[in-house]
Structure 1
C-alpha cells in the first residue's frame, strides 16, 4: 500500500507542476529511488538535454491570464477515491530588491484517509519577474511520509546561471546539503512558472508551444501539444476547454501509458479544469473543485 500511496504523491506533484523530466520529484527514499519511481510510473526513457539556446515559442502572450489573489482548488482521485488535494495560488508582491514579482505557489496534501498510511504536505514556490515572466527564485519543500527535503534555486538570467541548493533532513536535522551551479538558457522557466507561462499563451488546435525547463541539474525542452476543444463538467462547473499534452523533446517521449492530458478553459484565463493520466497503478484524475479571487468573468464557464 505504501508504494501505491507513494505513486499517488508523485503524480500529485507531477501533475500540478507540469513536470516532464525524470527528476520531477525528490520524494521516497532518495533521489535515485525517486527517479526510478517516476520512470516506472510514467514509462519515461532517457531524456535529451535542452538546446543551449532558449527554447520558447513566439506565440502571443495573454498578460491577464491570472491575477493577484487567484486560488484554484483541486481533488486528486484514484478511480472514485479522493487520494489528496492541492491548491494553486497567485500573489502580486515585491522581492527583497523591491522588484514587482508574481509569487506563484502550489501546495499538495494527502487526504485524511491516505494520511494514515502516507502523509503528504508539500509546497512549491516560484518568484517570477512581473513584466517579462522569468523566475528569480524557485523553492520546493517536500514532506512525504518520513521524507523531508528542500530545494532552492536562484536564477541569474543575465549570466545564464542557476545556483542550486538541495537539503535533506532526518528528524528535522540536516543530513545532506549540496550546492552547485548550472548553466541555463537565458530566461529559462522553472517547473512551476512553466505552467503559468503556458496559461499566458494563445493556444491553437494543431499548434504547439515550446519552452526550456530547468530543475536541479537538468535543463530540457518541453513541447506542449494542443489537441482539441472539448466541453467538460467538474465540481467547479461546466467549462469549454482546450486540451493540451506536455511532451519531452528528444527520444525519451511519453509512451501510451503515462500520458498527462490537461483541460484548460478555452478563454484568456486558461484555468486548469482537469488533468488525467493512465499510470501503472490505474487511472488518476485531478479535478477543479473551486475558483476564488478571479474578478473578471470566466467566459468559458457555461454553468
Structure 2
C-alpha cells in the first residue's frame, strides 16, 4: 500500500492519469472500452523525436502556493536485449522538499518496452519510504498471451489474464503523448493498473500558450486522461498535461486538483538532442546542480 505522501508525488508525476488505485472492495473485472471512442495508435513519425531513447526530464513537484514536495527524474534509454526496445527509468524523491527530513522517499520505477507500439514486457519497482518501509515489486507482461505475472517482495506470483496490447502507468504516458493529439478527438489507452485492465479515455482539450515555462512562452496542446476512480486520494478533477505542440511533445507542466488545493509538476531540466530547440535547457536556479543537462563544451 502506498503511503499518503508517496501517493501525492505519484499523482503528480504526470502518469497519475493512468494510475487508478481503486478502493479495497472494488472488483477486479476489466473495464469496458467506450464504444464510440477509438483506440490510440502511436504515430511512427514521432518516434524519432519524442521516443528515440536519449531523453531526460526533471520536474519539481509542488503543492498549492509553491510548497515543494519533491522531484521526479525520468530517463528514456535504448536497450540491446530485444529488438527495438527501450527503458523508462523514473525516480521519485522528496529531495529538497518540504518533508525530506521528516519522511524521506526514494522510489525507483523501471519499465522496459519494445516494438512499434512500445508495449511493456518488464516493470520493476524499489520503494524506500520513511525510515523503515521498503518494498520490491516485479511485473512481467506476456503481450502475446495477454497474461501478466506480478511479484511483491517474497510473496508467490499472482497471474492476471488481461488481454493483449496493454500498457502500464509509465508506458501509457510515453505512448499517448505521441498519438494523435487533435483537440476534440479523444482516444483510449488500455492500461494495467490496480490489478486489472483499465480502458483509459484520453481527452485532448485545446491548444494554449504557456508562459514562464522552461522554454519561456511556448505553444502547447492540453491533454486530460479521465479516470473513474478516486483511489487513495480525493481529487476534484483529473490530471491535466501541457505538451509542446510540435514533434517533440515535451511535457512542460502538469496539474492535478485535489479535494483541497492542487499539485503541480513543472519541468526544470530537459535533454533530447533530437529536439534542438529544447535540448540542454535548465532552469537558472538549477544550472549548477544539473551540469549533465548543459551543452557540451570543447
TM band (smaller chain): 0.7 to 0.9
- The 1:253/1:81 distance shift into structure 2, 3 A limit, reads closer
Q: Structure 1 residue 195: deviation in Å?
A: 0.6
2:129 and 2:219 map into 1 onto residues whose CA distance is 35
For structure 2, the 5+ residue unaligned runs are 282-298
- The 1:116/1:148 distance shift into structure 2, 3 A limit, reads same
Normalising by structure 2, we get a TM-score of 0.79
2:95 and 2:30 map into 1 onto residues whose CA distance is 36
CA RMSD of aligned residues (A): 3.1
Check conservation: 2:40, 2:180, Cα contact below 8 A.
no
- The 1:198/1:298 distance shift into structure 2, 3 A limit, reads farther
Q: Deviations over 1:175-198 (max 9, x none)?
A: x52411111221200111001111
Q: Deviations over 1:33-77 (max 9, x none)?
A: xx57xx9xxxxx989733489x83256443222322210110001
Picking from 126, 129, 141, the partner of 1:141 is 126
Aligned to 1:287: 266
- 2:204 is equivalent to residue 226 of structure 1: yes
The list of structure 1 runs, each at least 4 consecutive aligned residues, that deviate by more than 4 angstroms after superposition, is 45-48, 251-256
Q: Deviations over 1:203-247 (max 9, x none)?
A: 000111211100362211101101011111345222211111111
- Which structure 2 residues correspond to residues 177-216 of structure 1 after superposition, within 5 A? 177-215=155-193
Picking from 61, 70, 89, the partner of 2:75 is 89
Check conservation: 2:18, 2:173, Cα contact below 8 A.
no
SS at match of 1:177: coil
Aligned to 1:9: 6
Q: Deviations over 1:274-293 (max 9, x none)?
A: 11112134221110001113
1:271 and 1:227 map into 2 onto residues whose CA distance is 17
Check conservation: 2:17, 2:224, Cα contact below 8 A.
no
1:219 and 1:89 map into 2 onto residues whose CA distance is 26
Normalising by structure 1, we get a TM-score of 0.78
Aligned to 2:95: 111
Aligned to 1:247: 226
- 2:54 is equivalent to residue 73 of structure 1: no
1:48 and 1:125 map into 2 onto residues whose CA distance is 26
SS at match of 1:264: strand
Number of residues of Structure 1 aligned to a counterpart in Structure 2: 267
